[in-house]
């Protein structure tokens, strides 16, 4: 899907740029630990110039939480997406290139992982492994790689029949080298189209885990901010509204940007 007007292609990248800037400049925009209590609890937004977006029930600065939360969301989202695609590419390339028993075994494994609801698996993994940023990344990667593996496998199957791959084989290149040096780059294009969605999904899963209390307790994440604000939706709805808005914005920004890049490369789906 695509927004119709000509400047709409800029919405994603501009939003993403703002978020990246917030994440990079977080220590300057809001110095100190966002988990520290800095003011009177439940300062309303737009009432105190030092805390423009107010404070939560523990007196933590909401603005600081949001800009530092951008770091968590983007870093965890990107790392998890990179790991997801990495596993998917590895499995897909091996399965597609080697074929035979290895292909069968890997595809059964892929199906097994794909049939378990992604979020349930991530949830189980984090609750078993313990809530830390690294485990969240790991859990997202382990639960989300199957679509990437299937996509890469299909592409590898297509590319490996092309002439230049035969040429490499005749030239005596080692099979694994052919797989990853000759075949894989040709099969990667559709993965680019998948990347934006994968990052967006990863951000959503991270925020949902944090919302359920399975985020890294030492980091201020948008999802855990929503969870904290939940008890106060009657009196201070902004504690829920603002961080959630940030999550939706981040997901929209990465998927629009990914879609735009895919479209530029001529991979996009029809409008």
Residues lying near another protein in the complex (CB under 8 A) are found at: 1-5, 108-109, 111-112, 115-120, 123-125, 127-130, 146-147, 150-151, 154, 190, 193-194, 197, 200, 204, 207-208, 211-212, 223, 226, 230, 233-234, 237, 240-241, 243-244, 247-248, 251-252, 255-256, 269-271
Contact 182, 164 (CB under 8 A): yes
Closer to another protein by Cβ: residue 37 or 269: 269
Contact 149, 87 (CB under 8 A): yes
What is the nearest approach in angstroms of another protein to the Cβ of residue 67? 18
Closer to another protein by Cβ: residue 93 or 207: 207
Closer to another protein by Cβ: residue 14 or 197: 197
38 CA to centre of own chain: 31
Closer to another protein by Cβ: residue 138 or 178: 138
Structure tokens at 40: 């009177």
What is the nearest approach in angstroms of another protein to the Cβ of residue 271? 8
What is the nearest approach in angstroms of another protein to the Cβ of residue 195? 11
Structure tokens at 240: 């829920």
What is the nearest approach in angstroms of another protein to the Cβ of residue 184? 17
Closer to another protein by Cβ: residue 43 or 84: 84
CB-hemisphere CA count at 13 Å for 95?
24
Contact 186, 159 (CB under 8 A): yes
What is the nearest approach in angstroms of another protein to the Cβ of residue 115? 4
How far apart are alpha carbons 76 and 72 in whole angstroms? Answer: 6
How many CB atoms sit inside 10 A of residue 240's CB? 18
Contact 140, 122 (CB under 8 A): yes
How far apart are alpha carbons 248 and 146 in whole angstroms? Answer: 24
Closer to another protein by Cβ: residue 159 or 178: 159
What is the nearest approach in angstroms of another protein to the Cβ of residue 207? 5
């Amino acid at each position: 899907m695509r927004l119709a007007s000509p400047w709409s292609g800029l919405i994603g990248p501009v939003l993403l740029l703002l978020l990246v800037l917030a994440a990079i400049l977080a220590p300057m925009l809001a110095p100190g630990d966002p988990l520290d209590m800095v003011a009177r609890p439940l300062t309303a937004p737009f009432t105190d110039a030092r805390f423009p977006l107010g404070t939560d029930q523990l007196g933590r600065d909401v603005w600081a939480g949001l800009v530092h939360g951008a770091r968590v969301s983007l870093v965890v989202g990107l790392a998890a997406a990179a790991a997801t695609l990495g596993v998917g590419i590895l499995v897909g390339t091996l399965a597609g290139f080697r074929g035979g028993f290895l292909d069968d075994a890997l595809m059964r494994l892929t199906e097994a992982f794909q049939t378990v609801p992604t979020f349930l698996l991530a949830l189980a993994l984090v609750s078993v492994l313990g809530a830390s940023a690294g485990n969240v990344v790991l859990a997202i990667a382990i639960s989300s790689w199957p679509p990437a593996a299937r996509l890469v496998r299909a592409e590898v199957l297509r590319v490996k029949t092309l002439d230049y791959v035969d040429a490499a084989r005749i030239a005596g290149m080692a099979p694994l080298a052919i797989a990853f040096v000759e075949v894989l780059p040709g099969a990667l294009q559709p993965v680019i189209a998948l990347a934006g969605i994968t990052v967006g999904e990863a951000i959503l899963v991270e925020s949902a885990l944090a919302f359920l209390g399975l985020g890294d307790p030492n980091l201020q994440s948008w999802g855990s901010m929503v969870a904290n604000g939940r008890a106060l939706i009657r009196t201070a709805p902004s504690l829920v509204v603002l961080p959630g808005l940030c999550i939706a914005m981040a997901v929209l920004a990465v998927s629009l940007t990914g879609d735009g890049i895919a479209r530029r490369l001529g991979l996009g789906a029809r409008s």
